[in-house]
Structures are given as structure tokens and as C-alpha cells.
Amino acid sequence: MSSIEDIVVTVTIDAECDYDPNWIRSKPLTFRSIQEGLPERLQPAFAEVGAVPTYLLTVEVLEDDACVQTLRSLQGDFELGTHLHAAFIEPQKKFFDYAGVDSPDFQCSYPPDIEYQKLKNLTMLFENQLGYAPRSFRAGRYGLSSQSLRSLQRLGYRVDTSITPHIRWTEPNATVDFRKAPQQPYYPSDEHIDRPGAASESTMFEVPVTVKPRFMRNPLWFRPWFSTVDQMKDIFRYHVKKHSNQRVLSINMMFHSMEIIEKASPYPQNLSEVQYFIEQMQEALQWCEQEGARFVSLNGVRDAFQTSTDLSR
Ligand SMILES: [Zn+2]
């Protein structure tokens, strides 16, 4: 018997400058992924299926006035949050020209106060450019620690989506180990990011990226291009079965804005591949809805779980 009453599907997108097919920032630096990708490709595609994306914005996007203009006039349903690549913001900023540069740092390898100041500067940049405070976050290269979560909490964030269960990242400059992290949303404990702690209104809520573990192989991601539609259906069914004791179930699709611009990532390299990516994404999302799921923003996932807790009291 399944206790699941509510399946919420969210789409979380790292929204950055264009990269090149080797995952290096474009040179010269371009922003097709924001200026064209969001209004012309992604928002119409999400509107067709009724999904509510959350775009997590990097420093260089928020510093670019044309990008901010695009974001301010974006149509349809969406949430905006932040995404930190720590080498690109003060203090200890390493690059002033971002063109042709890789992402060399995990934010959590900086001293706590430096990491906090970087997050604060990113948050203030968001507020200055968009006029309100961000509530959602993802760390660049998933480099999040308990220290990072405490900083985010101090800055008023509510939801993080940096955790990739079953995966251990060993590059570029630290080890981030999420192998034991929960597959479904939780309130991380103060000391151990990969363990549930006490829930409270002020505690950060973690919405892990949706993956399915595989024996002796890398996990499958609920992500277009990385997985076929059939594989995404399989991941969805795996979560429904494995977490049938929950009242609310979360499915979190992630990718980057650059992936729907040809040659701006290692993935689609021409327009027909972009079209294929978007069609696969829409097909997987539509199938989830047929299975009874509804679409929410990243903060909407927290709301769904909170409502459920209230009801069960
Ligand atoms: Zn990133």
C-alpha cells in the first residue's frame, strides 16, 4: 500500500553564461543561454506542459545588464534563485574576465567567513538587480557543506538543491561526499549535511537532485540528454516504490540553461539536437503529470512537504 498523496515535480536549472563544448566559459563571453534560451526556448516549452522552472543565477548573469533586462521581462511561471561559482566573486575573487575560464573551486573549501561573504555578495547582487531576496540556491559543482547551509540560512534562503545522492565529487579542489544522503527532501542536521535533523521554520530545506542508484555504475539522473524518456520513467517509478511510505514525493529534474543552446555545452551541438533535448524533456514531464504528479517551483516543494507535516499532526 502506498501512502503517497502528492507527487511534486520541479525543474531546477543552473542559468549561466554560455560555455563551449569542453565545458569552458565561452570566449568571447556570450549569454545566448539567458537572452535567447530562457524567453524563446525554455519558457514556451515549460508553458506547453505547465511546468514551473526555477532558474538559479550565477554572478556573471546578474552582473550583465542585458541578462537582467531579460529576466525582468520574462513571461510565464518561474522562480529565480542563485548559483555560486566561488572564484568569480569577492572576497578572494580570482577572475575578473570570465571568458575562457573553467570553474576551479568548491565554495565549501573556502574558510567559513569567506564563503559567507561570497554568498552575501551574490545575494546582494541578486537583490540589487531584481528587487527582492532570493530563496533558492545551488552550489557550483554541487560543492556544499554544513557550513554553507548555515550561511545560506543566515542570509534568508529556504531551499537548497545541491545534493546529489549516491555521488562523491572529488574535483576540483576538495571532496564532497553525498553517497549516504537521503534521496528525498529533508531538513539537514546542523552537523551532518547528509543526515536529517530537526525541522523548523528557519531551517534550510534540502531538495536533492533526483537520481536512481545502479549496481557498480554511476547513478542515472532524472535529466534530459543524460537519460532517455524510458529511463526517466524508470527513475520516477523507482522513487514511487522506494518511498511509498511518504505522504509527499519529490522528483527534481536538473540541467543547465546552456544545454538548450547548440555548442554552448558538451551536449546538443546543433539545432535538431536542441529540439530533441526539449522534446524529451517535455515528454518526460507530461508523462509524470499523467501519473498524477503536479508541477511546482523549488520553494513549492518545501511548501508541499510543510503542508503535509501540518496535516499529519
Ligand atoms: Zn554551475
Q: How much distance in Å is there from the Cα of 238 to the middle of ligand 1?
A: 28
Residue 312 has pLDDT above 70, yes or no: no
Report residue 17: phi and psi, to 5°.
-65, 165
Q: How much distance in Å is there from the Cα of 279 to the middle of ligand 1?
A: 23
**Residue 31, number of CB atoms within 10 A of its CB:** 23
Q: What's the rounded mean pLDDT across residues 73-92?
A: 97
d(CA 202, CA 217): 37
Residue 187 has pLDDT above 70, yes or no: yes
How do residues 33-72 score in pLDDT, each as one tens digit?
999 999 999 999 999 999 999 999 999 999 999 999 999 9
pLDDT, residue 171, reads: 80
Per-residue three-class SS string for 172-239: CCCCEECCCCCCCCECECCCCCCCECCCCCCCCEECCCCEEEECCEEEEECCECCECHHHHHHHHHHH
Q: How much distance in Å is there from the Cα of 163 to the middle of ligand 1?
A: 13
Q: How confident is the model at residue 309 (pLDDT cuts 50, 70, 90)?
A: low
Q: How much distance in Å is there from the Cα of 282 to the middle of ligand 1?
A: 23
Q: How much distance in Å is there from the Cα of 140 to the middle of ligand 1?
A: 4
How do residues 214-237 score in pLDDT, each as one tens digit?
999 999 999 999 999 999 999 999
Q: How much distance in Å is there from the Cα of 132 to the middle of ligand 1?
A: 22
Q: How confident is the model at residue 197 (pLDDT cuts 50, 70, 90)?
A: very high
d(CA 188, CA 202): 12
Domain borders along the chain are 6-312
Residue 310 has pLDDT above 60, yes or no: no
Q: How much distance in Å is there from the Cα of 50 to the middle of ligand 1?
A: 25
Q: How much distance in Å is there from the Cα of 57 to the middle of ligand 1?
A: 9
Q: How much distance in Å is there from the Cα of 115 to the middle of ligand 1?
A: 16
Q: What's the rounded mean pLDDT across residues 84-93?
A: 96
Residue 50 grid coordinates: 505547465
pLDDT, residue 311, reads: 46
- Assign domain 6-312 one CATH number from 3.40.30.10, 3.10.50.40, 3.20.20.370, 1.10.3210.10: 3.20.20.370
Query: Looking at the chain, how many residues does it have?
Result: 313
Q: How much distance in Å is there from the Cα of 281 to the middle of ligand 1?
A: 20
Q: At CA 28, angle to CA 66 and CA 24, rounded to 5?
A: 105
How do residues 253-295 score in pLDDT, each as one tens digit?
999 999 999 999 999 999 999 999 999 999 999 999 999 999 9
